[in-house]
Amino acid sequence: MNSLGLIPLVIALAAPAASAQTPPADQSSHGAYAAGLTAWRKGQTNEAIALLSKVPEDDPNFLRAMMDLGVHLLAEGIRQPERGLPFVERAYRKAPNDLEVVHALIRCQLLARTNLGSPVAPRPLPKTMRDEFKFFTSAPKFADASRKVRGDRLLADLDFLELILANVYSYADRRGTDWRGALDAFRASIGDGLPIDTFILRLRRFLTLFGDPHTAVRTTYRGGIPKGRAPFMPVPDGHRVLALKPDRSAFLDPECRYIAAIDGVAISEWLNVAGFDVPRASPQFAWRATIDALDRIDYLRTELSLPLTNTTAFTLVSADTSKTNLLFLAVTNAPAAPRVETSEESARRTRELDPGIGYLRIANMAADTRSLAQLDEAMAQFRKTRGLIIDVRGNGGGSQDTVKTILPYFLSPGAPMRIINVAAYRLPVKLPQQCTEGYLGLFDRGLYPVTSTNWAEAQRKQITTFLDGFMPDWKLPADKFSAWHVMAISPGTNPKAYPYTNAVVVLTDAGCFSATDNFLGALKGQPNVTLLGMTSGGGRGRMTGYTLPNTGLALTFCQMASFRANGDLFDGRGVAPDVVLEPKPEDHLANGGDSVLEAALKRLRGPK
């Protein structure tokens, strides 16, 4: 039997909370609140509890005092959520529609395991291991010398994990995966304990079952994973894999560009084991991520029961398979160093490519003032161009500020709001009432329910009419989610925007993800806008962080279900281009050209 009793937990359901050792900064120079924070900062816990509990309801710091005391100090600091709950409930009674207070109540109730929407009960563990779960229950195949953690402590961590999956995680049941059966198989595989890296590896592979790339273990391995890498860059080209030099200066072999085998084992088998660690997300995301993992040579060798030698043999073939080359590369322990383009570099690439055709490169969805100002500066520069290319290829996401800045340029003056995103928040507990301000408005997500004061009356009517006809392609589990929230953008969202009415081509690929998925979904279907390239990765999440109580492993999970305005779920699908165009092999070289960009230019130049 597993153990699902009350155990001390550490969790953050909204923003990362201050710890008991680091109280929040003073917000007042006098009164019980300031004195309580001072005592807390000095380590005088009992004194801090006594002082903070005396902050009166008419004090402007009352809500903050109750949340700090109930959640940060009692529930998370000294791990006594039952003691903290009455204080958070006092704040909730006073301000039931304050988003921070509502999230504090949810967090504290979850920690106290009370009022849960989906209580968790113990189950007998399986006596035999199902084959479908052996890719994680029998992993790894290398000798793990990292420190061993007792079995009872690991089981307690998995009990906590089940609590989160059952009550918090928005996509737990989306794919119909028997995750409880998988988790029980995980429990049964623990025995009297596991090395910490083995536990991390199994946990990561278990989480791939949900097909959610946002969900992850954020804690790194402690040293037990084989580190040997081969100095090459694998790149997808249709259903085959190109082999480039690490600096992308050339192919490993100019004539034989494709990998047929490594160490005498077919590339298909390498891809199979590399896929063990990849979320079962959209096909395009999974394919790209699987190929990215191929350079972890020694780690994958252990999965294939191959010897760890100082060199690795690549069997390379030509495009028509008429030529073959056997190439040996030295294995190195140097970590992979992916190149991330900065906002400043993107700004330098932004220019007019042809007279009258602008090129706006957006490599990441930054939120800083300078990056957003650069977008407005670029659009001002392109005001009189006859066409515009927006290149977001490889943009893995970030904030929603970019779409709020750019989309207004493509909206007609005086037009109604464009609803671009519809989402619902996964509610872990049974609240007395729905929060009229919603649950997704923190951290500038831009998602609000129709009842929010964020909307004017005319906007509220537009949203109500829209939601009456909204048909999501995944029906949310009953009684587990909030009311719908929407993200809508109007021409006035960016006061600097002007109506750009000429042709726009947006370049996209499978490396576009998260906030970039939303960006693409917002622009798709706009007049004169064409998406060109490959389908985006598919993912749009409101992430929440957690820490397992015994191992201290940091995890993140998505706590909202997110859809495009047409009802398509972002996760597992992505945004399809209007014109499908795959890059040519030479496009992946540093100086090999860019056939996709050339196609966009040709489209905007028009007939000669």
Sequence ranges of the chain with CATH classification 2.30.42: 233-330
Structure tokens at 151: 């079995």
Pick the CATH number of 10-112 from 3.55.40.20, 3.30.70.141, 1.25.40.10, 3.40.640.10: 1.25.40.10
Token pair 């959640």 is found at 71
How many whole angstroms separate alpha carbon 326 and alpha carbon 214? 38
Q: Is the pLDDT of residue 7 over 80?
A: no
Question: Which residues on neighbouring strands pair with residue 365, listed in sequence order?
Answer: 398
* pLDDT class of 29 with cuts at 50, 70, 90: very low
Question: Which residues on neighbouring strands pair with residue 354, listed in sequence order?
Answer: 357
Helices (H), 194-333: 196-207, 267-274, 283-292, 297-303
Structure tokens at 200: 């991390």
Q: Is the pLDDT of residue 13 over 70?
A: no
Q: What CATH class is the domain 343-605? A: alpha beta
**Are the CB atoms for 486 and 448 separated by under 8 Å?**
yes
Confidence (pLDDT) at 146: 93
* pLDDT class of 478 with cuts at 50, 70, 90: confident
Average pLDDT on 339-350 reads 78
Q: How many CB atoms lie within 10 A of CB 142?
A: 18
Structure tokens at 505: 């081509």
Amino acid at 572: G
Confidence (pLDDT) at 338: 63
Q: What percent of the chain has pLDDT over 70?
A: 94
Which tens digit of pLDDT belongs to each residue from 409-446?
999 998 999 999 999 999 999 998 889 999 998 766 78
Average pLDDT on 541-552 reads 89
Chain mean pLDDT for the chain: 91
How many whole angstroms separate alpha carbon 494 and alpha carbon 591? 37
Which tens digit of pLDDT belongs to each residue from 238-267?
999 999 999 999 999 999 999 999 999 999
Residue partners of 344: CB distance under 8 A and separation at least 6: none
Range from 122-131, 322-331, 427-436 carrying the lowest mean pLDDT = 122-131
Q: What percent of the chain has pLDDT over 90?
A: 83
Q: How many residues does the chain have?
A: 608
Residue partners of 269: CB distance under 8 A and separation at least 6: 304
Confidence (pLDDT) at 214: 92
Q: How many CB atoms lie within 10 A of CB 266?
A: 13
Confidence (pLDDT) at 344: 76
Confidence (pLDDT) at 154: 98
Confidence (pLDDT) at 556: 94
How many whole angstroms separate alpha carbon 475 and alpha carbon 478? 9
Which tens digit of pLDDT belongs to each residue from 146-157?
999 999 999 999
Pick the CATH number of 233-330 from 3.40.50, 2.40.160, 2.40.10, 2.30.42: 2.30.42
Which tens digit of pLDDT belongs to each residue from 554-588?
999 999 999 999 999 999 999 999 999 999 999 99
Sequence ranges of the chain with CATH classification 1.25.40.10: 10-112
Structure tokens at 204: 């990561």
Sequence ranges of the chain with CATH classification 3.90.226.10: 343-605
Structure tokens at 251: 């192919």
